[in-house]
Structure formats: C-alpha cells, structure tokens
Chain A
Amino acid sequence: EAGVAQSPRYKIIEKRQSVAFWCNPISGHATLYWYQQILGQGPKLLIQFQNNGVVDDSQLPKDRFSAERLKGVDSTLKIQPAKLEDSAVYLCASSSGGNPGEQYFGPGTRLTVT
C-alpha cells in the first residue's frame, strides 16, 4: 500500500512570495489533514478535510493560507504572501475514518522563508 505522498520536499522562498504544497493521501482515506510543525514543537492542525469538505480550519491563517481538496482525493495548501514565521515543516496526513483512526503522515515539506 502506497503511503501519503507530498511534494516538494524542500522549498526556499523570499518573504512576500507565494508557495504551494501538494499532498496525495492513502487511497480510500476520506480524512485529510494539513499540519504546520515548527522546530521543537508538535504538529499544529491547520485544516482538516472530510472528503472534499472542510470540517476544521479554526487555526488556519485565512488571510494568507488557503487549501482545497476539490475531488476528495489530493489536496493543495497555498501560502500567499509568505512571512518569515511561516518557516516550518508542513505535514499532510490521512486517516481511514475507522477505529481508532490513526493518522498516516507524509514525509513533509520543509519551507524556509528568507
């Protein structure tokens, strides 16, 4: 079974530029999550999708971050414009919705904003 795929693995941009990340979850997983993990901290949920609908985006900075999962499969997360404090690893995870519904994480995208 293929795992969660993410691209790119690394990205360096200047502040005020835009960037997009892509995620393809495990086949059949209805729930998809985007997390931001700053060095030395735990993952912070940015947005959670159930199929192609958003179920939680309470911690997403909506003035600069956006995400979509149009066909209920793969997803993109965009930052526009980026700030220095956006430097972090962006993790995508998916879960099947069963019990206990553990999450499977992709390798992450390490973003550096200069």
Chain B
Amino acid sequence: GQNIDQPTEMTATEGAIVQINCTYQTSGFNGLFWYQQHAGEAPTFLSYNVLDGLEEKGRFSSFLSRSKGYSYLLLKELQMKDSASYLCAVRPAGGYQKVTFGTGTKLQVIP
C-alpha cells in the first residue's frame, strides 16, 4: 500500500517563498504528482516528477528524491490567489495509471 504525509496547514506572506513537503512510502514507485485545489473547486495538475531532481515551471518548482521518499513543492513570489490546498499524489509501480492522493496541505497567503 501507500502512505503519504503532508503538513495539514501552512501560512505564508504575499511575495514570499514557501516549501510544501511530502513524504511517501509505497510498494514500488512510478512518479509523483502535485495538484492544486482551490476551495470548492476540482484539483488541477501542477507538476510531475519521476526522476530525482528539480523541475521548474514558472513560479512553481517540484523536487523529488526517490531514495528518501521525499518531494517538495516550492512556490515563489506568492500571490493571494495561491491560497489553496496542495495535494501530493503518488503513482505506484504497475500499470493502469492509478495514483493515491495525500490529504493535502492548505496554504493561506496573507498580505
């Protein structure tokens, strides 16, 4: 099975940088996703990591260390609209593209 851990809540200041961590334990590993979910809305895809290292995409970057079972999502130049839940999701080895979602980290950006 899979076990995914994320902090429940975080608060950060507009314009700052915030790092949201995710640790996981899986029976096999085939990639890690980050999704953003605004309150009352559906999740939307942010990033995908399958190899170790940092993937940068504009203000958002995602890092993966497979040996440590660890990932983080880095948000730079925070904006008020970044207030949302950030979901870490792990794809185990095997077919069918199934993923297991963590409980999410609720980020509040304050002025």
Q: Which A residues contact B (CB, under 8 angstroms)? A: 31, 35, 40-45, 48, 50, 55-56, 91, 95, 97, 100-108
Contacts and interface: CB of A to CB of B under 8 A. Distances in A.
A102 B45 contact: yes
A26 to B, nearest CB: 13
A16 B97 CA distance: 34
Contacts, number: 50
A40 B102 CA distance: 11
A55 B104 contact: no
B104 A41 contact: yes
Nearest to B88: A42
A41 B8 CA distance: 10
Contact of B98 (A48, A100, A104, A108): A48
Contacts of A35: 101
Interface string B79-95: 00000000101000001
Interface stretch (B13-21, B36-44, B66-74): B36-44
B29 to A, nearest CB: 13
Contacts of B100: 45
A108 B42 contact: yes
A110 B20 CA distance: 28
Given A42-B87, A100-B31, A107-B42, A56 B101 contact: no
B98 A42 contact: no
Given A44-B101, A50-B96, 20 more contacts: A35-B101, A40-B103, A41-B103, A42-B103, A43-B43, A43-B87, A45-B98, A45-B99, A56-B98, A91-B42, A95-B97, A100-B31, A100-B33, A100-B50, A101-B97, A102-B33, A103-B45, A105-B42, A106-B42, A107-B41
B96 A105 contact: no
